[in-house]
Amino acid sequence: MKILVLGSGAGGGFPQWNCNCRQCAGQRIGDVEARARTQSSVAVSADGQSWVLLNASPDIGQQLRGQPQLHPRHGVRDTPIKAVILMDAQIDHVTGLLGMREGPCIDVYATPCVFEDLTTVFPVISVLEHYCGTRWHMLAVAGTQRSASFTVDGFPSLRFTAVAIPGKAPPYSPHRGEQTTGDNIALLIEDLDDGSRLFYSPGLAEVGASELQWMRDADCLLVDGTFWVEDEMLQAGLSRKTAREMGHLPQMGDEARVGMVDVMLTTGARRKVLIHINNSNPILDETSAQRRVLDGHGIEVAYDGMEITL
């Protein structure tokens, strides 16, 4: 299985267009050693020819232009992207569908909750009916059904499992205040040819027993790297929201919960990678003490253009 990181940043990317914080300003002028990052999306392939997008970022145009493996190959109009799987209905994960309107009808894999948000309060899918159209493939994660295995047409050797996880519906969703099963999923992807397994979860609010079990089943973790600490946005004067209020588990734990670093270390995954990094997170600075902590644990920080082969 091949995994291409198209966008490794959280909503807003890095540096964020209107942000003058130490890291964003420092990155712009070259004072902070850090790579720019576009907003959250990855592509997965079994053969390096056909690709499935996991989330579609608002930065999709830039991401596809910069990634030769995803350029058109045959005929006057073409794309190796055969489908899009959505983890939630957040702006940074779905707006890129609009950027695909010039292409063929889009095969969208999403839960009923996400489909509903995208045809009502944030009607990206309804708008696309006036362009390329979409075909909805329902991921049966709803009600008491907490996981669903499925295949994607054209990817016979990959087995996908969508898993309900703790998270937050977007601010515009009627479920924002009270999460409903299917608002947020993680994906376990298994390559049936060689048995390799990826666990992908760019937005993960909590790791309980069932999440930990899914994570322990994976060779590669590509998980929520949004915040280093719970009150990072408050400390930097950027927002009044905590990591918890935004639906993200920080890397460092506190009395209330175990952090993502300790969670990752309890798994035997060969590759442990953080993705969806917010511009406030000190791990963006490659010379930071926090980055050294990750290095010491063998935990990687995803960057745009990163390729992982399992």
Q: Do the strands 81-85 and 51-54 form a parallel or antiparallel pair, or are they unpaired?
A: parallel
Among 16, 41, 57, 90, indicate the residue that binds ligand MLT (CB under 6 A): 90
Question: What 8-state DSSP symbol labels residue 243?
Answer: H
Binding string to Mn ion for residues 80 to 119, with x set by CB under 5 A, is what? ----------x-x---------------------------
117 binds, among ligand MLT, Mn ion, Zn ion, none (CB under 5 to 8 A by kind): none
> Mapping DSSP to helix (H, G, I), strand (E, B) and coil, where does residue 83 land?
strand
Closest to Zn ion by CB, 161 vs 281, is 281
Are the C-beta atoms of residues 200 and 186 closer than 8 Å to each other? yes
Find the shortest distance in angstroms from Cβ 46 to ligand MLT: 28
Give me the DSSP letters along 251-302: SS--SS---HHHHHHTS--SEEEEESB-TT-GGGSTTSHHHHHHHHHTEEE-
| Structure token pair of residue 78 | 């073409």
Percent of the chain that is helix, strand, coil (3-state, to 5):
25, 25, 50
Considering CB distances under 5 to 8 angstroms, the limit depending on partner class, which of ligand MLT, Zn ion, Mn ion, none binds residue 127?
none
State which residue, 10 or 44, has the beta carbon closest to ligand MLT. Answer: 10
Q: Shortest distance, CB of residue 164 to ligand MLT, whole angstroms?
A: 17
Site size toward ligand MLT (CB under 6 A) is 7
| Minimum distance from residue 92 beta carbon to Zn ion (Å) | 15
Does 10 help bind ligand MLT (rule: CB under 6 A)?
Answer: yes
Q: Report the residue from 7, 11, 167, 259 that binds Mn ion according to the rule CB under 5 A.
A: 11
* Residue 11 within binding range of ligand MLT, rule CB under 6 A: yes
* Closer by beta carbon to ligand MLT, 91 or else 293: 91
Answer for which of 92, 107, 219, 230 binds ligand MLT (CB under 6 A) is 92
Confirm or reject binding of residue 164 to ligand MLT (CB under 6 A).
no
Query: What DSSP letter does each residue of 125-166 carry, written as one string?
Result: HHHHTTTT-EEEEE---BTTB-EEEE--TT-TTEEEEEEE-S
Phi-psi category of 55—alpha, beta or left, where left has phi over 0 and alpha has psi -120 to 50?
left
Contact by Cβ (8 Å): 163, 214: yes
Residues of the shown chain interacting with ligand MLT in the complex, contacts defined by CB under 6 A: 10-11, 90-92, 203, 246
